[in-house]
Amino acid sequence: MRTYFITLKTQLKLSKMPEPKPFERLPQSIQPKHYDITLQPNLTKCIFKGWQTIDLEVKEPTAKVQLNTLDLTLSEVKLTLESGETITPLSTDISVPNETVSFTFDQTLPKGPAQLSMNFEGELNDKMKGFYRSNYTSVSGEERYTAVTQFEATDARRCFPCWDEPAHKATFNITLIVPKDRVALSNMPEVSSKPYEGDETLQVVKFAKSPLMSTYLVAVVVGEYDYVEDTSSDGVKVRVYTPVGKSDQGSFALEVATKVLPYYKDYFQIAYPLPKIDLIAIADFSVGAMENWGLVTYRETCLLVDPHNTSASQKQWIALVVGHELAHQWFGNLVTMEWWTHLWLNEGYASFVEFLCVDHLFPEYDIWTQFVTDTYICALGLDSLKNSHPIEVPVGHPSEVDEIFDDISYSKGASVIRMLHQYLGDKDFRLGMHNYLTQHSYANTFTEDLWAALGKASKKPVGKVMRTWTKQTGFPMITVASHQDGDNRVLTLTQQRFLADGSSGDSSQWMVPLSFSTSKDPSKTVMELILDAESTHVTLDGVTPGIWVKVNPGTIGYYRTRYPPELLEQFIPAIRSKTLPPLDRLGLLDDLFAMVQAGHTSTVEVLKLLEAFMDEDNYTVWSEIHHCIAKLNQLISNTDYHPLFAAFVRRLFSKIGDKLGWEAKAGESHLHTLLRELVLTQRGLYGDKEVVEEAKRRLDRHISGAATLPADLRSPVYKTVVALNDHKTYDQMVKLYRAADLHEEKDRISRSLGATKDPNLIQRVLEFAMSDDVRNQDTVFVIISVAMTCPGRSAAWAFFKAHHQQLVDRYEGGYLIARLVKYITENFASEEMATEVESFFSEKQIPGTDRTSQQSLETIRLNTAWLKRDKEAIKKYLQTCAEKSN
């Protein structure tokens, strides 16, 4: 028997991950069955009180009850036995590092039911986790707070003591005591609302009992909101809650949500099990959106559409986010991963299904093509690092869990599911999914359970194939050799792990679904097989000399292809003439780009290939070109010949730019609109004179009120003009920021500010990012925008070093700080900076950034080697280009 798994020892040798923190899961001796929770938030003092009774099942006799809690003060702890006897704990041990409390009783609790009750108090914190406060300005102009929850992954314990692990499913009865004039929401519909005895300003709102569910999906919101409402064709009451006076901005999401529910019902052949679903925009929110069962919370920018001020790209993003969170209502909420090691089952799957649903609702978005640039190539990028991790990743302590909400769990997860979907076909895939969701409803699963269901439905060796993708880190590079045998073509295909440093890595092997297309009919797949050995020969009949053969049509297989130069050259005419389909054009480019990064071939080869895209007109292919250009720009910004590169980029984008112009044509397609935004941004940032002049003119007219910029043109205009380093423009932009009401507009402006290269302005942007003008949820993105230019990068890094403690205190770990660390460090390109970043992170322990800082460090060293290798050759090539065009 073959074994596909490299030993743990080899993986540890390759990566430099620190030792995992000591961690133990809660004992299995006691299971929670039902929580009856009352919460009373105080929206002015920003504190809350709560009390709860938890019905337990003692599975093994024990004198100790251990559960999770964090930052709460507990009192009145009591345990009632089945006999009716009530006892109090002999001792209470709180462990802050383990985020637990243990109650020890003076008697062994017998097997069977028991009830644990307690009171608790805490702060409505400003960290966007647990039960927290979000501020807004009321219609009357007063500063007020909303109380809102964000529990995933491990923060329900900050709101009420609980068995805060996904496998401890229970039912919940939630009661809220809140001011009468506030909207109070939870997962389930309200069943009663009564005046609160003793204080007529308060009301007691009770919600229906929830289904069996994990703690991380519990949610409550108390605040002032308006809503729009509809009922989906399958009878679910859908509401979109918006800030007061802005209910119109919920219409788009409402339409998407009401259509998505019946679509998923049909797709999974399982109805959404709750009577209602609310989607609500929260002004301070750490991530993009959260799938709480029946009460999905969103950042404002991920939910609200203002027809005059929302760009086409943002609208598309909102459709994807709504599709994603609603997919979780089945995949995640109904069926939940047993432990965070299987987080990808939630996130990878939802990241795949969101595209299915948007493709169904908006075929004109051609969203599956965009999947490849948005998702697939991001995954391959991170996964070519030695410090990547397998999809199924051992994690324990909460700080480790936070860090795996990354491109592996999401994007690699989605990419391997897309590959599997193709391998099984839609019919068997759907049947397998239906069986999986039915069999495990209201329960928990391991990755293996999914393979079992899909294997049974398709009668294919799903587990055997898929384990090679989810248990091993990385992916293969398929090297192609080819020779002619009469009228037939014989290909030799060999697999080896692809590593970004070009080394051969380890002995990992995958079971690789291979497929091919030829120039006879580039849109047709001519053969499919599974490569289950290191190498194989494939004979394609009737492929005569002069016909090209492409591996991986549609860029679906999660691997890279390496062609010898003479085979690669054959594709150039097909790229120029666009007879090669878009996904194949961009796949070829991205694979070549990765080979260049890894040093398998020279950067000059990519620059040459890019010129074949001069007549390109597909948005997603341009988005891929932009991806390559952006990476090269980061690298070349460290040299003295950046102006030559800028000229190269301006030429590359000139033809398509002239074709698209500035004005949207009447009735033009969504993708044209996206393309114009992309192309104008590039032309502006690389200093195309005409674009710069026009951008200045348009911004002036926008500011003076003579002609409002259409939403799709704002980002290109803002960035282009800010990049001119003018202090007056900068002040105008900050003024626009302060005046903007729509959060999307604020984001657009604040993320453009980083385009400046003036040292004084850079400092001002960094300070602005930390100021009261910018919400904590947005600070990191403003700093990141600064780090995208060469002078900004050093300044952002210096700023981070000086303010790291403040940032750590602001976020207390979590997702945002990990993003920040990634983007401000990974574009350096010298050993000196690598050493500096390395010593900084080994001296200062920044929670939740261990994995990310190791990945960044590896990337810096890759950049360093790349620049050293190709610096001179790139310069020479760019000089020749410049001479030719003069």
Task: Report the DSSP beta bridge partners of residue 68.
Answer: 100, 162
Pick the stretch among 10-18, 235-243, 289-297, 438-446 that binds ligand BES (CB under 6 A): 289-297
Contact with ligand BES (CB under 6 A) among 164, 325, 590, 744: 325
Q: Cβ 851 to ligand BES, closest distance in Å?
A: 14
Residue nearest to ligand BES (CB): 288
Pick the stretch among 177-185, 201-209, 348-356, 363-371 that binds Zn ion (CB under 5 A): 348-356
Pick the stretch among 345-353, 433-441, 465-473, 764-772 that binds Zn ion (CB under 5 A): 345-353
303 binds, among ligand BES, Zn ion, none (CB under 5 to 8 A by kind): none
* 320 lines the binding site for ligand BES (CB under 6 A): yes
Counting Cβ atoms within 10 Å, is residue 886 exposed (0-12), middle (13-18) or buried (19+)?
A: exposed
Contact with ligand BES (CB under 6 A) among 168, 324, 719, 764: 324
* 540 lines the binding site for ligand BES (CB under 6 A): no
* 350 lines the binding site for Zn ion (CB under 5 A): yes
153 binds, among ligand BES, Zn ion, none (CB under 5 to 8 A by kind): ligand BES
289 binds, among Zn ion, ligand BES, none (CB under 5 to 8 A by kind): ligand BES
Contact with ligand BES (CB under 6 A) among 163, 268, 349, 815: 815
The whole-angstrom separation of Cα 788 and Cα 798 is 14
Q: Are 37 and 160 in contact (CB under 8 A)?
A: yes
- For Zn ion, the closer CB: 470 or 864: 470
Contact with ligand BES (CB under 6 A) among 160, 405, 558, 686: 405
- For ligand BES, the closer CB: 302 or 457: 302
Residues 519-545: b if buried by 16+ CB within 10 A, e if exposed:
beebeeebeeebbbeeebebebeebee
Q: Cβ 150 to ligand BES, closest distance in Å?
A: 7
- For Zn ion, the closer CB: 350 or 404: 350
DSSP letters for 163-191? --STT--BEEEEEEEEETTSEEEESSPEE
Q: Cβ 617 to ligand BES, closest distance in Å?
A: 28
* 155 lines the binding site for ligand BES (CB under 6 A): no
* 321 lines the binding site for ligand BES (CB under 6 A): yes
Counting Cβ atoms within 10 Å, is residue 192 exposed (0-12), middle (13-18) or buried (19+)?
A: exposed
Q: Are 194 and 177 in contact (CB under 8 A)?
A: no
Catalytic site positions:
325
Q: Cβ 347 to ligand BES, closest distance in Å?
A: 6
User: Cis omega before residue 153 (within 30°)?
Assistant: yes
A 10 A CB-CB count for 180 gives 14
The whole-angstrom separation of Cα 388 and Cα 401 is 15
What number of CA atoms fall less than 13 Å from residue 169's CA on the CB side?
19
747 binds, among ligand BES, Zn ion, none (CB under 5 to 8 A by kind): none
The encoded tokens of residue 630 equal: 């952006």
* 328 lines the binding site for ligand BES (CB under 6 A): yes
What 3-state class would DSSP assign to 599? coil
Q: Are 761 and 782 in contact (CB under 8 A)?
A: no
What 3-state class would DSSP assign to 213? strand
Q: Cβ 736 to ligand BES, closest distance in Å?
A: 26
Residues in Cβ contact with 577 at an 8 Å cutoff, skipping those fewer than 6 apart: none
Contact with ligand BES (CB under 6 A) among 288, 461, 502, 687: 288
Q: Cβ 676 to ligand BES, closest distance in Å?
A: 24
The encoded tokens of residue 51 equal: 């009390």
Please report the sign of the dihedral spanned by the C-alpha atoms of residue 476, residue 480, residue 485, residue 487. positive
- For ligand BES, the closer CB: 213 or 480: 213
Please report the sign of the dihedral spanned by the C-alpha atoms of residue 187, residue 190, residue 195, residue 201. positive
- Of residues 93-152, those binding ligand BES (CB under 6 A): 152
Residues in Cβ contact with 545 at an 8 Å cutoff, skipping those fewer than 6 apart: 484
The whole-angstrom separation of Cα 306 and Cα 314 is 10
Q: Cβ 258 to Zn ion, closest distance in Å?
A: 20
Pick the stretch among 40-48, 232-240, 268-276, 288-296 that binds ligand BES (CB under 6 A): 288-296
Q: Which of 651, 269, 591, 635 is nearest to 427 (CA)?
A: 269
Q: Cβ 155 to ligand BES, closest distance in Å?
A: 9
Q: From residue 796 to residue 825, what is the string marking binding to Zn ion with x (rule CB under 5 A)?
A: ------------------------------
The encoded tokens of residue 372 equal: 């490849």
Pick the stretch among 55-63, 204-212, 339-347, 475-483 that binds Zn ion (CB under 5 A): 339-347
The encoded tokens of residue 23 equal: 């961690």
Calculate the CA 504 to chain-centre distance.
30
320 binds, among Zn ion, ligand BES, none (CB under 5 to 8 A by kind): ligand BES
The whole-angstrom separation of Cα 191 and Cα 194 is 10
405 binds, among ligand BES, Zn ion, none (CB under 5 to 8 A by kind): ligand BES
A 10 A CB-CB count for 770 gives 17
Length of the chain: 886
- For ligand BES, the closer CB: 247 or 785: 785
Q: Cβ 23 to ligand BES, closest distance in Å?
A: 18
Q: Cβ 21 to ligand BES, closest distance in Å?
A: 19
The whole-angstrom separation of Cα 390 and Cα 401 is 14
Pick the stretch among 252-260, 269-277, 343-351, 442-450 that binds Zn ion (CB under 5 A): 343-351
Q: What is the 3-class SS of 496-531, one letter each residue?
A: EECCCCCCCCCCCCCCEEEEEEECCCCCCCCEEEEE
The whole-angstrom separation of Cα 713 and Cα 718 is 9
* 30 lines the binding site for ligand BES (CB under 6 A): no
- For ligand BES, the closer CB: 145 or 151: 151
Residue nearest to Zn ion (CB): 350
Residues in Cβ contact with 689 at an 8 Å cutoff, skipping those fewer than 6 apart: none
- Of residues 343-382, those binding ligand BES (CB under 6 A): 347, 350
Residues in Cβ contact with 261 at an 8 Å cutoff, skipping those fewer than 6 apart: 232, 234, 236, 238, 272, 277, 326
* 56 lines the binding site for ligand BES (CB under 6 A): no
Q: Cβ 229 to ligand BES, closest distance in Å?
A: 23
Q: Cβ 128 to ligand BES, closest distance in Å?
A: 10
Number of residues that bind ligand BES (CB under 6 A): 16
Contact with ligand BES (CB under 6 A) among 220, 260, 289, 417: 289
* DSSP3 helix / strand / coil % (the chain, rounded to 5): 45, 25, 30
- Of residues 464-493, those binding ligand BES (CB under 6 A): none
Contact with ligand BES (CB under 6 A) among 30, 174, 238, 290: 290
Pick the stretch among 219-227, 344-352, 490-498, 532-540 that binds Zn ion (CB under 5 A): 344-352
Pick the stretch among 249-257, 346-354, 688-696, 725-733 that binds Zn ion (CB under 5 A): 346-354
Pick the stretch among 15-23, 202-210, 251-259, 284-292 that binds ligand BES (CB under 6 A): 284-292
A 10 A CB-CB count for 21 gives 14
Q: Cβ 350 to ligand BES, closest distance in Å?
A: 6
> Which residues of this protein are in contact with Zn ion, per CB under 5 A?
347, 350
Residues at the contact surface with ligand BES, assessed by CB under 6 A: 152-153, 287-291, 320-321, 324-325, 328, 347, 350, 405, 815
